Amino acid sequence: MQALTLVDMGFLYTETVASPKHVAGLQIFTAPKNYEGNFTRDLFDSLMSQDDIKKPFNLKLKKQLTGQYYWKEDDNIDLSYHVRFAMLPQPGNESQLLHFVEHQHETLLDRNRPLWEMILIDGLEDNKFAIYLKAHHAFTDGAKANQLLMSYLSQNTDAPMTAFWNIELEQKEKQLDSMLSSLTKTSKKLAGQVKSIPSLTKLTTKLLFQAANVYKADMPTPFMAPKTPFSVSPKRARRAAVSALSLTRVKRIGKMTGATINDVVVTICDMAIHNYLESKNFKLKKPLVAQMPMSLRDASDTVTNNQVAISLVELAYHGESPLERLMTIKDSCIKLKNETRLLTKEALTSYTMASQGLAVVSEFFNLDTVLPPMGNVLISNVPGPQHPLYMMGAKMEQCFPISVLPPGMSLNITLYSYNGLINVGLVSCRSALPDLADLADYINKAFIELENEVLKSASISVSEQIALLAITNANSDIKQESLAVIEQILADAQNTTDIETPPVTQQPRISRVDTPPTDIISTDTETKTVSASV
């Protein structure tokens, strides 16, 4: 038997009916054209025929008298319980799909069985079908769950389909240790914890001084975030909404501003939440605070436990322009990275357990109505494959993450990149955020608004460089530098359409340099929003 870590068990001990602790993915496929027969039925039959369930999908929980949980192999698994078929009513639109997913996502997994489920959903319009997969967070973190649950897909359209539970996954088996070996491992763990004490103590001191307004740390102090309508403990009913952003265009924004993809998407989420709150006449006096998971997993690690830390990032102030907001968040993320580099994995894990534990206590005693929230929203960004994937010839068009609500908060925004798109999955408590679809719309609008401002700023830079080139006494080095800047900006913006270009006054005539056309900077219409409307 394999013992669960303290982090893994934390998701079990803090789970309630109102706060399930599972993560999920919603995969949307297009069935092969001209398929003879019912494709989804044939796919379901193929899945059900593969009843040899291998590790880790044959593991279920066992609890000892001490309270310690272990994973134990289950030799009598009822596959028909874990894999089910559902049919949407006509017309089978995406709103109906999300309505179905909302109800599935608010249901607890059965702890007497392996902690995963899969539902094949037929009846979607446009020859599409969907698969909803969920697994308990005690089983694995989101990034590793993605790897496990995507393993049955292939880059080859003609490849045979093997169910993910039927694939022998490489696992580090935990052998029964001798007394000497056990003592050695325990000694190493204790040594790691001892080494983490100085850095953890230093961080705690910084945060306490920051709370007393006598010091400014590089990361926010927990429980100092502003209050919002969704800074409350969640109730059982859920809302789900999805959106999609062009990865190419997000990368372009990052490249033109010196920001990372994560900086850009967090800025878009921050803008969207601010705009949503303003539409509700809710004014923020302080920046929002986001919880952001950080993976602690080594690239070669195959263990399916949780290896993630949760850090806090202060976002931007009310009234900042989109570009100013991006620069503020970029600076906050850099400071956070610098602060976390000073901490060991053990220190980051201990910090996460302590802060999340306090949030659980606050939620349990309903203190969230009195105390400031730990954070306002959890924002997670998970990279995925950038090539199309198939299952029995059916192409996966999109994959949306449907995640978990942290204690004391009723909003989670998780992003997953796949095949040129950043798929955005939003989950909220239904009573705290009943109109989650509006927030999904604001994400799309924020993306376009940020992109427009960045590209307009680039257009102005082009005009300034052209004016500099027009100066007859400018030396050749300045001219060459200006040409390089212009070429880079135009190259970054060449694939966009339909953006309003700012007017250029009295554009000078210059020799040996072609004036760029006024419609060269634009934007396309690759953004899309789907939301549940019930």
Structure tokens at 329: 């968040």
**Cis peptide before 385, with omega less than 30 degrees from 0?**
no
Which of 82, 137, 274, 387 is flagged as catalytic?
137
Distance separating alpha carbons of residues 290 and 51, to the nearest angstrom: 42
Query: 269: part of which helix (H) or strand (E)?
Result: helix 261-279
Q: What is the DSSP string of 364-382?
A: HTTGGGTSPPS-SEEEEEE
Q: Taking the CB of residue 488, how many other CB atoms lie within 10 A of it?
A: 15
Q: Taking the CB of residue 262, how many other CB atoms lie within 10 A of it?
A: 20
Exposed / middle / buried, residue 484 (Cβ in 10 Å: 0-12, 13-18, 19+): exposed
Buried residues in 101-125 as b, exposed as e (16+ CB within 10 A): bbebbbeebeeebbbbbbbbbbbbe
Q: What is the DSSP string of 241-264?
A: EEEEEEHHHHHHHHHHHT--HHHH
User: Beta strand 289-295 with 308-314: parallel, antiparallel or unpaired?
Assistant: antiparallel
Cβ atoms of 469 and 510 within 8 Å: the answer is yes
Distance separating alpha carbons of residues 299 and 290, to the nearest angstrom: 26
Active-site residue, 137 included = yes
What backbone phi and psi angles, to 5 degrees, belong to 143?
Answer: -65, -45
So which residues are the catalytic ones? 137
